[in-house]
C-alpha cells in the first residue's frame, strides 16, 4: 500500500496492483500450459451409413470362431460351420475377411479348459489376419448368462 501526504486533501491510500497483475499473469500462463496436457480424447464409434453399392445382408453376417481344447477350431460365417485345425484357421479367416472392406469384427469363444497362453495366441493370430482395422470381440455363451440350476442369482 502506498500513502500520499500531499495536495492538502488529507491522506490517500492506494493498493499497489503491480504484484497482483504479476501473480494473475503467472497463473494464466500455468493454466495455458496445463490445459492441453489435461485434455483427454475419447473415441466414439458411430454407426455408419451403408454405401449405395454395399449389400446389407452380406455386411450383417457375423463371423464367429470357437477354439476347442483338442486343437480344432469351428469357424462360422452365419451360414455354415467349418471345423479345421488351428493352423488352417488364418487362411480360412483371411478368405472370409477379404470381402469385408469396413467392418471386420470377429467374435471369438474358447472352451473353458483351454490354457490361457493358447487363448492369447489365438486372439493375436485373429487380430493379425484381420489387420489393424479389425476388431476381435469375445462371444458370451447363453449358458454363461443364465445361472445354474439351484444357484441363487446375484442381486441386480
Q: Which residue has the higher pLDDT, 10 or 75?
A: 75
Cα 98 from Cα 130, distance rounded (Å): 9
Q: In 3D, which of 93, 88, 86, 100 has the Cα closest to residue 126?
A: 93
Evaluate whether residue 25 is within a structural domain: no
154 located within any domain: no
Per the domain annotation, does 123 fall within a domain? yes
Domain of residue 65 covers 56-140
CA 54 to chain centre: 26
Total structural domains in the chain? 1
Q: What is the pTM of this model?
A: 0.51
Residue with the bigger pLDDT between 73 and 102: it is 73
Q: Which three cell numbers stand for residue 68?
A: 476347442
- What CATH number is associated with residue 100? 3.30.420.270
Decide if pLDDT at 99 tops 70. yes
pLDDT in tens, 3-43: 555 566 777 788 889 999 999 999 999 999 988 877 777 77
Is 34 within the bounds of a domain? no
Lowest model confidence (mean pLDDT) among 42-46, 117-121, 141-145: 141-145
Residue 40 lies in a domain: no
Amino acid at each position: 500500500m502506498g500513502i500520499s501526504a500531499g495536495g492538502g486533501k488529507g491522506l490517500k491510500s492506494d493498493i499497489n496492483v503491480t504484484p497482483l497483475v504479476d501473480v494473475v499473469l503467472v497463473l494464466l500462463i500455468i493454466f495455458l500450459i496445463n490445459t492441453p496436457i489435461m485434455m483427454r480424447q475419447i473415441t466414439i464409434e458411430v454407426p455408419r451409413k451403408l454405401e449405395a453399392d454395399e449389400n446389407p445382408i452380406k455386411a450383417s453376417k457375423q463371423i464367429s470362431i470357437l477354439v476347442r481344447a483338442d486343437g480344432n477350431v469351428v469357424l462360422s460365417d452365419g451360414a455354415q460351420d467349418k471345423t479345421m485345425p488351428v493352423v488352417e484357421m488364418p487362411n480360412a479367416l483371411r478368405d472370409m475377411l477379404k470381402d469385408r472392406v469396413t467392418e471386420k469384427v470377429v467374435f471369438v469363444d474358447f472352451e473353458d479348459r483351454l490354457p490361457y497362453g493358447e487363448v492369447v495366441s489365438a486372439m493375436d493370430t485373429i487380430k493379425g489376419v484381420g489387420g489393424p482395422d479389425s476388431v476381435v470381440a469375445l462371444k458370451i455363451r447363453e449358458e454363461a448368462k443364465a445361472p445354474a440350476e439351484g444357484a441363487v442369482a446375484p442381486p441386480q
